[in-house]
Structure 1
Amino acid sequence: MLHISGAWQRAARGAGLLSPDGDLTPTIFAEITAAAVRHDAVNLGQGFPDEDGPSEVLDAALTAIRSGVNQYPPGRGMPVLREAVADHQHRFYGVDLDPDREVLVTAGATEALTAAILALLDGSDDEVVVFEPFYDSYAAAVALAGARLVPVPLRWPGLEPDVDDLRTAVTDRTRIILVNDPHNPTGTMFSAEVREEIVRLAHLHDALIVTDEVYEHLVMSGSHTPIATLPGAAERTLTISSGGKTFRTTGWKVGWISGPADLVDAVLAVKQYLTYVNGAPFQPAIAVGLGLPDRYFEDLAATQRERRDLLGAGLVAAGFEVSTPAGSYFTVADVRSMLAEGEDAADFCRALPERVGVAAIPVTAFVTPGHGAEYATLVRFASCKRTDVIAEAARRLAASAR
């Protein structure tokens, strides 16, 4: 058998996808999606919408295609989108950016994250502090860079980081504090105390802050505050977002990263050898989206709040303890009341499509190997589907408790 080694092994090992024999194993996401198809289950494991985005955005993409915007865009991204990102950051958060030097368009937020991590880390002596559970690409990207992941746990039921745990995790070896707020998979939003402590620790240990804010407009309780707006944060913070979640265009893969020009230049140096450029006709379309009236963003959050509450009621009726999310697409529930003896959340999720007709993902899919025990009864449900789909899932969950 051909033996292949190298970067893919580091990435797969970081993501927990290597068997003891060194073979690549399927993700539990793929397993559960396949089970959902087999059993015609309502798939609340997939974190993407089942509806198209606003017509203004879709029509703008069609217009761009028909107008010949189909070749390589500029390496930093089309000026119209970079300017729209700068305008958006000023409009919503009061942040002033130079669109020519401080904004870079990327192939979604995932590329922005990976390029930033590869650009800013310098090998095995560097550490990246993350909040666990975390979006699965973080571990793979840090492993690709040859650095070390240092998790700060989000503990049930509050799913809010403990500032003492954070202080212990951040040291002089910390190169990046990676912040996902609103948070996937838990739906938590960090308190002002936590945000301020992140900035204080970054200064104390000369660390950089990289933020993943793709759910910034899916806030159902409170309001989103980018860390870059805090005193002393802007000069050491790279802010990442995308149009996929906000405009229901996840397949377009149009994202961006913004911050100090020297840091953005470093990310560009890596990014240009990943995708080079991407999504020419989609870039002006996302620019149109970023300029939509406030009412669009308000309605987006209100719709998500309605679906969150509908799903949460079904989970409570099923007998689960629920952590009500403040933001994102996701709701985490403790399903121990439905676990058979010796069963954990992963077993539960594998059986759920056939048993109940609903698919979901165990939270252990988002933690580092060896840290699963604390999350062994927790399951993530996605509420980004149509309201009638969420209602049917809630009905099935509630019926399963009878």
Structure 2
Amino acid sequence: MLMLKQNIVAEMQICDMVAVARIINATLVIPELDKRSFWQDTSNFSDVFDEAHFINTLANDVKVIKKLPKELATARKATRQFRSWSGMEYYQNEIARMWENHEVIRAAKSDSRLANNKLNQDIQKLRCRACYQALRFAPRIEAMGKLLVERMRSYGPYIALHLRYEKDMLAFSGCTHGLSPAQADELRTIRENTEYWKVKEINSTEQRYKGYCPLTPREVGILLTALGYPSNTPIYIAAGDIYGGDFHMADLRFRYPILMNKEKLASVAELQPFLGHASQMAALDYIVSVESDVFIPSYSGNMARAVGGHRRFLGHRKTISPDRKAFVRLVDKLEQGTLSEGRKFSDRIIELHRRRQGSPRKRKGPISGTKGMDRFRSEEAFYENPLPDCLCQGERTSVPLDDRKQTT
């Protein structure tokens, strides 16, 4: 038996553990979602995903059961932190040998435990089946997500903006650009008091210039304007509470008044079943983002990578990945008065993002010159670009927005 505990944004990790179970010939116990994360979500797997569909779809690949059988309650168990980005030989030779002394193995961590590349094609295909066929959201989440998409489409073709300008991300990344000293202190306190966040001292300016900070709402507004999107473009904000609220959203709302989110598209009664459950609310954002005409993440986190990869799988739906490192330097020039918004600025932004819009390409390998774990860490994640392993199995249904100033 293979057991694991998952973060609330866990699609990629779950699918990797399906593949690991296949490699080591294990029965997989339905994952337990982590209830001790920053958001303290009490959701179970079946609250977020269609459990029966997951089990049935994978029946010919991996045996999946809902919970550990009673007869194994006192069985010999082992908890193991699998080595990051490991290939077939590691699991076949080292982990599989654990069955000689144990009947149950619990994976202490499941993020990035499986290599992105150089795996057998049947394992890569299994990752695809697990992610894009077996793992789907629970029926009530699917129904609510579809309703949100329909209501969003009533405004016309729309952008889904994954605006990761939220308290947990800013605290974790140490990014405080544009915040007041009191807000910066609050975020630093959160980081210092969150035990499992290892890095406590972070230079915000360095983070930002390295491209490690989520774009601010104001920066996103500048980006969208420069890319040529008109002010009447409907935008769905895929996010929780934006840090600083209306104050930090003012500039983006001035540029793009049709800003919508779950709370504006649905009534309190309709959202009531999902309130207080961050994973379920994130699932609704995921659905609306996957179905959007254009998807733009302000930060390349787990959800952004998962949505971007899913959109590639469905036919390379337009996904604009901001070049944060280059873009923030141009924004600073605007603030310093050495550059101004207009045609020349817009042309520079468009050129900067010409090849960052989700067009077909092979998955990127490691950065040249990197070694050891840094080599694996620098690779593009499997689920961020599941090609060529996963063939496109869907037709593009979205209607492109006005692309007069854009290149796809």
TM-score tier (shorter): under 0.3
Query: What TM-score, normalized by structure 2, do the two folds share?
Result: 0.24
- Bigger Cα Rg: 2
Normalised by the size of structure 1, how large is the TM-score? 0.25
